[in-house]
Structure 1
């Protein structure tokens, strides 16, 4: 397999599972890949270049570790890449424009017990004052949340305290706009399709519904399973999801990927959702 600095870690593991051991041997930071849950959420979003930056390693080191497994560089010049250590050391200090008044939110217990922390996080964001930053306490860098909030204009800073303790700070400084305004925009994107009912969409995509049941998966596997299945849909298909609840943390990501959704509550412990491309959502 030909690889480059932009190759996803998940692609390496899919090609050869021994890549987990090879990468983990670079330094202790990458031991997280041995955890199936963390591997599921991180590997599909992180490239070799990202991992090298986050782990204060070099791209060349990754290539050297992977070469014995049959991976080949698309460009031999990459082996001469310089260490990102100097850049990493410059970014250790908290940004000068980051507020020093922090509101702390520890989501470790919520995730461990299988609860979606999205509502807790967004409530904390909504209650922030312009002079405050949210200090999110977790066991790993929350890549999906960073992506969502960065696109909403939030800045972030990640501080790795130890292998299993990470602080992620979110703050926003925009003239005449408060953090609460941005939170409201996220909520707006997370509204169900008001034009098409669940029954209408089920009938429209009859015979073209891919079905998955994520009720019994541990967090964060429900979200990652749904996103990976969406990416694998064929043209004209929609996704039927059986869930315990409406997955609030997932909804903004659906909007970003061009998907709409509708749902039906079956019982207090079951919600059925249909996720479909917005350009196929109108009912004639």
Structure 2
């Protein structure tokens, strides 16, 4: 199953057609966990409220050359945490360390996250962006007394991990 379903409405608009029905049909056809990626020649502001009423949130990016990319994802899926995540993460302080580990060597993410935890003070939060869920690291964090919360980015580009440092490094 494709994680991202792309709909380019530029040809429809160039032909003088209204793309809203194609957009709604594409959104209604999404399977659980899929994102609708819309490509348009302008920022489709009126569509944002239409899709919000249908239960979607959006992320928008101007690509240049009159191309806007807008990703629509069901709101509940956007905030779904991985099993084992600390539900109280919404009340944690803002992260003090940000790690982009999307292109590391194989063992590097775990080592860098653990090093950041050792350097942080108890109660500090570390944010890491990873290429995938660090399945081996998560039980290690639990065993060391740290709390964590994580989920996949809505556009499928990576895994977001928050770690609340416990009393022991």
**TM-score normalised by the chain length of structure 2:** 0.45
Q: Which has the larger radius of gyration?
A: 1
Structure showing greater relative contact order (alpha-carbon pairs closer than 8 Å, 6 or more residues apart): 2
Q: Give 1 or 2: higher strand fraction.
A: 2
**TM-score normalised by the chain length of structure 1:** 0.28
